[in-house]
Structure 1
Amino acid sequence: MSSERYIPTKYDFRNYLQFYAGQMVSMLGSSIVSFTIVWYITITYSNPIFLSIAYFCSVGIQVFAQPLGGVIADRFNRKKIIFTADTLIAIGTLMYMILFIFENQINKMSLLYIILAIVCFRAFVSSFQWPAGAAIIPLMVPKEQLSRLNGIRHISWGAINIIGPAVGAVLYAAWPLNNIILIDTVTYFVALVPLFLLKIPKTDKDKKKEIEKTSKGSFGSEFKEGVKFLTATKGMVALFSIATFINFFEQPLWVLRPIFVDAFHGGTEKDLALIIMLGQIGMFISGAVVIIKKTWKNKTRILMIALYVQIAGYLISSIAPKGQMWGLFVGSIVMGFTFPFTNTMLNTISQTIVPPEMQGRVSSILSTVCMAFNPIGMIAAGPLANAIGYMPLFVGTIILGCISITVIWIFSKMRQIDPMVEEIEAKEKEIRKIQDDIVKLKIEMEEEKYPLPAIAD
């Protein structure tokens, strides 16, 4: 573990929040466009297979490309990477707009293939933007503010997940498709202003590299460094194995929830919308709790408690009697309530333990591992539901998930992470106190050296 750690200042934190606000505006535009494209494929082709293919084009590309994006984020200027990626994503949006201007002149299936190609392009570029954005957080956010920031991120993501589809649905009925897509380009330019004002601090290691002009290793060797760091840090592999297993075993409900509501419970699109909204409300409530409480001790224990509560919510949704939508309503709000706790603890642990110069590659490796089995879960969910039924599938998979995370928790070194995190946080707090004392001492010395003139009566 690197001993050279830059200690973020209050100015760095404010600067990051300005940048993040701009990124949220851009994400809102992307959310509107994503909903619009998904809905267009749904009503134009009326084939769930095409939606599944679009999902794989998005998620599958990122699973394979993010490790490369992480290495690049640690090798090159992260601000330039974010700018380049955002610009290329905006170009992809313009491709959508041009495509739909000439929609009537293109064969229906050819149009779908072009849409999927653009989805792949945007997903590939996002694989470089996300690690670069994640890597700057520990450089600009003080350790005691990480939990609060991650809570803010969950609340803002939840708001975007509600507002984006709602705005997209309203505009879809009122505007031409190419006009709706133009919104994403506008939000891109809005996000450029705080991006240009962003000043990312450099670690001592970065400065030494610039002075010495040392040659960098290969992409493969730097990727291996990230893997080596994870395997050498006690408990980290176990921690993110838990995240991987719970993501995998929860996939059936997430993938099949629309048809579970419609075909099994006889619900409508309003019921599904209410289920999603209640989940977001649960996220808002717990996200606010995370923000109000600055720091959290025993993060791995909090994570495990939240996961068991999440499993309980999953079971409530799974075993709701046929036609009784209240079970899905309650289950959704319970599961939504746990997400800010689980993700905040995971992110804060990673952001605290991983050295700043390795944040890009390590965060991309962890994200890839957590998402790696999601496509498999999606593919298997449909055939298994047809073979054994919805309830047996949902209950069986979540029980397997519960057993898996319990075994890992009991027999791994995951519990050794908490003392490590608390030690790093305490050291940074002590260093910041010393820095503040030095600043105060300098001010006092200046005042003694140049005293203010006395004011005559």
Structure 2
Amino acid sequence: EGFTWIWSKKPLVMIMGISLMINLVTNPAFTLLPLLITTYFKGGAIELAWVQSANGLGLILGGIALGIWGGFKSKGRTAFSALFVASLGLLGFSQTPADMFLVGIGFVFVFGFMNAIGNSSFFSVLQTVIPHEMQGRVLTLVMATSIAVSPIGLVIAGPVAELFGIRFWFVIAGATILIGSLMGFMVPGLKDLEKAWGSETE
């Protein structure tokens, strides 16, 4: 029933498609992170911990910042703006020279910070536009499909990373987020979705 309801709302289908594509490429990227640290940055467990901590700290502070700030009036605009900056952080990390590891840590922090704002705003939009009686089923479907695409992404990422290098997969991940964020602004009805449908939940 949740799938049927989502399928009847084409803008929501597009937003879910964007979300699934981002999860498809981003989750494998961070699974490959230990190999990137050892093979490219010539680091070890400590360097990996720094990068993971930067991402985690960014997520925490991003959530706090959104709680204080509240985002733009349009949660959709907030989500897609945050994803745009997050994509730049990931692309920046993918292009960081091996001898500028601290700069790479900074890019990962930016990614984590903006990713927290983007994801929180995205779920806020869903809670606004989905009728209360459908929220449990629809949100469960959204989370389940997001988790389900991760193994598929790993199957694809392995051979691609082996052929073109791990950094190339990070470029793919960053570019996918960038394209998704731009689609959010360019496709009519996406960035202001909650404004148009907010009355449906009342």
Class of the TM-score when normalised by the shorter of the 2 chains: 0.7 to 0.9
Offset of residue 287 of structure 1 = 1.5
Offset of residue 234 of structure 1 = 5.2
Q: Which residue, out of 83, 86, 106, partners 1:310? A: 86
CA-based RMSD: 2.4
- The yes-or-no answer on 1:226 pairing with 2:2 is yes
Q: After the TM superposition, which residues 111-130 of structure 1 pair with which residues of structure 2 at under 5 Å, given as runs?
A: none
Matched AA of 1:329: I
Aligned length: 202
- The yes-or-no answer on 1:403 pairing with 2:179 is yes
Q: Which residue, out of 395, 401, 417, partners 2:193? A: 417
| Cα 1:249–1:255 shift into 2, 3 Å | same
Structure 2 SS opposite 1:235:
helix
Q: Which residue, out of 283, 290, 311, partners 2:66? A: 290
Measured in 2, the distance between the counterparts of 1:315 and 1:257 equals 14
Q: TM-score, normalised by structure 2?
A: 0.86
Q: Larger relative CO (CA 8 A, sep 6+): 1 or 2?
A: 2
Match of 2:125 in 1: 349
Measured in 2, the distance between the counterparts of 1:381 and 1:367 equals 21
Offset of residue 393 of structure 1 = 3.0
- The yes-or-no answer on 1:386 pairing with 2:162 is yes
- Structure 1 regions of 5+ residues with no counterpart? 1-224, 428-457
Q: Does the aligned pair in 2 maintain the 1:320–1:327 contact within 8 Å?
A: yes
- The yes-or-no answer on 1:359 pairing with 2:135 is yes
Offset of residue 330 of structure 1 = 1.0
| Cα 1:290–1:392 shift into 2, 3 Å | closer
- Structure 2 regions of 5+ residues with no counterpart? none
Measured in 1, the distance between the counterparts of 2:168 and 2:10 equals 36
Measured in 2, the distance between the counterparts of 1:410 and 1:335 equals 22
Q: Does the aligned pair in 1 maintain the 2:90–2:107 contact within 8 Å?
A: yes
| Cα 1:228–1:306 shift into 2, 3 Å | same
Measured in 2, the distance between the counterparts of 1:404 and 1:292 equals 26
Match of 2:45 in 1: 269
Offset of residue 231 of structure 1 = 2.5
Q: After the TM superposition, which residues 12-411 of structure 1 pair with which residues of structure 2 at under 5 Å, given as runs?
A: 225-233=1-9, 235-293=11-69, 296-407=72-183, 409-411=185-187
Match of 1:157 in 2: none
Measured in 1, the distance between the counterparts of 2:168 and 2:2 equals 39
Matched AA of 2:59: M
Measured in 1, the distance between the counterparts of 2:129 and 2:78 equals 17
Deviations 1:142-174 (A, max 9, x none): xxxxxxxxxxxxxxxxxxxxxxxxxxxxxxxxx
| Cα 1:409–1:242 shift into 2, 3 Å | farther
Q: Which has the larger radius of gyration?
A: 1
Q: TM-score, normalised by structure 1?
A: 0.41
| Cα 1:243–1:322 shift into 2, 3 Å | same
Q: Does the aligned pair in 1 maintain the 2:129–2:194 contact within 8 Å?
A: no
